[in-house]
């Protein structure tokens, strides 16, 4: 059933104001649609939203097939046996955390180049995904060496109940150190050219992430749900 007219109007109003706020700061809005119905995705696509994100590989595939004009970002944990969904359907893969899974995705790329971000477990919490800050330079080198994958940035999730400012600032410092080659010697300077992305910030903490230099934020609840 299509959503009520006023529900769609409310969604588009929330989207419009978030988009204006983020556009003004040069930050890209990823619409995290994992809890949203197809009708809401359709309304945003029609309104001009281009970037969407899903956290499960099969859902990414299904949504990419249903909405081929939109760009689909993979933001969740991945197992090797689902690598082909990401290789075939993702415009960007944000949650790279180990070289084996990265190699598995690359094997299914069939010639195209997939931009990826390395997910960092900045605070080192057990229940969080991502590579440790200590292991980041090595993962950067290993993934950069895989043909077909291009490392274009870093991603993190701030733990709830912790200091999001400190977490996002730490990711920015890691990015800066990686870009300028100071993270270790011999320097592993990136060749990302212009900007090296920082994908950080979700509904609860995106404003903090933007203050700390996010280039992309991932918004689900705040965008798709009624305001709390
Ligand atoms: C679900 C999800 C989001 C969006 O979270 P909200 O709090 O609903 O905005 C962002 N990033 C990842 C990795 C997610 O799984």
Residue 161 is predicted with a pLDDT of 72
Of 227 and 169, the one with more pLDDT: 169
Q: Whose CA is nearest to atom 10 of ligand 1?
A: 218
Do residues 219 and 203 make contact, with C-beta atoms less than 8 angstroms apart? yes
Angstrom distance (rounded) from CA 135 to CA 95: 15
Flag whether pLDDT at 228 surpasses 50. Answer: no
Q: Does residue 1 surpass a pLDDT of 70?
A: no
The pLDDT value given to residue 168: 97
As for ligand 1, residues whose beta carbon falls within 6 Å of it are 32, 34, 55, 75-76, 157, 202-204, 218-222
Question: What is the reported pLDDT for 159?
Answer: 86
Do residues 105 and 83 lie in contact, with contact meaning Cβ atoms separated by under 8 Å? yes
Residue by residue, DSSP assigns the chain as: -PPPHHHHHHHHHHHHHHHHHHHTTT-EEEEE-TTS-HHHHHHHHHHT--EEEESSHHHHHHHHHH-TTSEEEE-S---GGGHHHHHHH-SEEEEE--HHHHHHHHHT-TT--EEEEEEB-SS--TTS-SB-TTTHHHHHHHHHTSTTEEEEEEE--PPTTS-HHHHHHHHHHHHHHHHHT-SSSS-------S--EEE---TTTHHHHHHTT-SEEEESHHHHSPP-
User: pLDDT > 90: what percent of the chain?
Assistant: 83
Check pLDDT > 90 for residue 75: yes
User: Residue 95 CA: which ligand 1 atom is closest?
Assistant: 13
Give the pLDDT band (50/70/90) at residue 2.
Answer: low
Q: Is the pLDDT of residue 227 over 60?
A: no
Query: How confident is the model at residue 179, as a pLDDT?
Result: 87
Q: For residue 174, what are its two tokens?
A: 């890691």
pLDDT recorded at residue 30: 98
Query: pLDDT, tens digit, for every residue of 89-139?
Result: 999 999 999 999 999 999 999 999 999 999 999 988 888 899 999 999 999
Percent of the chain residues topping a pLDDT of 70: 93
The confidence score (pLDDT) of residue 188 equals: 63
Distance 221 CA to ligand 1 centre (A): 8
The CA 146 to ligand 1 mean position distance, Å, reads 28
- The span from the CA of 4 to the CA of 7, in Å, is 5
- The answer on pLDDT for 34 being more than 80 is yes
Predicted pLDDT at 182: 78
How far is the C-alpha of 159 from the C-alpha of 91, rounded, in Å? 26
From the CA of 176, how far away is ligand 1's center (Å)?
25
| Radius of gyration of the chain measured on its C-alpha atoms | 17
Measure 182 CA to ligand 1 centroid, in angstroms: 31
* Cis amide prior to 211 (ω within 30 degrees): no
Average pLDDT over residues 163-177: 95
pLDDT at 193 over 60: no
Nearest CA to ligand 1 atom 6: 220
Cβ atoms of 131 and 164 closer than 8 Å: no
pLDDT band at 225; cut points 50, 70, 90: confident
The mean-pLDDT minimum among 45-59, 132-146, 189-203 falls in: 189-203
What confidence tens digit (pLDDT) does each residue in 174-191 have? 999 998 887 776 666 666
Gap from CA of 198 to ligand 1 centroid (Å): 15
């Amino acid at each position: 059933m299509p959503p009520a007219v006023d529900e769609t109007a409310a969604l588009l109003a929330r989207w419009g104001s978030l988009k204006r706020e983020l556009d003004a700061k040069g930050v890209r809005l990823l619409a995290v649609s994992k809890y949203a119905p197809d009708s809401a995705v359709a309304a945003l696509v029609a309104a001009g939203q281009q970037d969407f994100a899903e956290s499960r590989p099969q859902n990414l595939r299904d949504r990419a097939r249903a909405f081929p004009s939109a760009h689909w970002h993979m933001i969740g944990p991945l197992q090797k046996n689902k690598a082909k969904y990401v290789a075939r359907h993702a415009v960007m893969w944000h949650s790279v955390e180990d070289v084996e899974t990265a190699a598995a995705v690359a094997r299914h790329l069939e010639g195209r180049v997939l931009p990826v971000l390395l997910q960092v477990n900045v605070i080192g919490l057990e229940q969080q995904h991502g590579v440790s800050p200590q292991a980041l330079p090595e993962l950067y080198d290993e993934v950069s060496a895989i043909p077909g994958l291009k490392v274009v940035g870093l991603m993190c999730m701030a733990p709830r109940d912790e200091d999001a400012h400190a977490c996002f600032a730490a990711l920015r410092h890691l990015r800066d150190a990686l870009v300028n080659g100071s993270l270790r010697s011999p320097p592993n300077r990136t060749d990302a050219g212009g900007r090296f992305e920082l994908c950080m910030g979700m509904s609860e903490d995106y404003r903090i992430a933007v203050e700390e230099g996010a280039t992309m934020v991932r918004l689900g609840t705040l965008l798709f749900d009624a305001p709390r």
